[in-house]
Amino acid sequence: MKRQDKADRIATILDELYAVPPVPLRHRDSFELLVAVMLSAQTTDKKVNEITPALFGRAPNPTAMAAAPVAEIREIIRVVGLANGKSKNLVAMAGLLLERHDGQVPASFEALEALPGVGHKTASVVMAKAFGVPAFPVDTHIHRLAWRWGLSDGKNVVKTERDLKRLFPRETWHNVHLQIIYFGREHCPALRHDPVACPICSWAGVKVRLADEARRGRGGPR
CB 65 within 8 A of CB 59: yes
Distance CA 145, CA 199 (A): 13
Q: Are 10 and 154 in contact (CB under 8 A)?
A: no
Q: What radius of gyration do the chain's Cα atoms show?
A: 18
Active site residue 153: no
Instruction: Tell me the fold of 3-20+137-216.
Output: Endonuclease Iii, domain 2 (1.10.1670)
3-20+137-216 and 30-131: same fold? no
| Ramachandran class of 2: left when φ > 0, alpha when ψ lies in -120 to 50, beta otherwise | beta
Q: Is residue 163 annotated as part of the catalytic site, yes or no? A: no
**Across residues 52-66, what is the average pLDDT?**
98
For the entire predicted model, the pTM comes to 0.86
- Residue 207: the pLDDT is 60
- CA distances for 145 relative to 32, 49, 60, 66, 169, angstroms: 28, 24, 35, 38, 18
The CATH superfamily of 30-131 is Hypothetical protein; domain 2 (1.10.340.30)
Give pLDDT tens digits for 139-197: 888 999 999 999 998 789 999 999 999 999 999 999 999 999 999 999 999 888 888 89
pLDDT digits (tens, 9 = 90+) for 196-212: 899 999 999 876 555 55
Active-site residue identified among 86, 129, 139, 163: 139
Q: Catalytic residue among 47, 86, 102, 121, which?
A: 121
**Could you give the CA distance from residue 195 to residue 132 in angstroms, rounded to a whole number?**
35
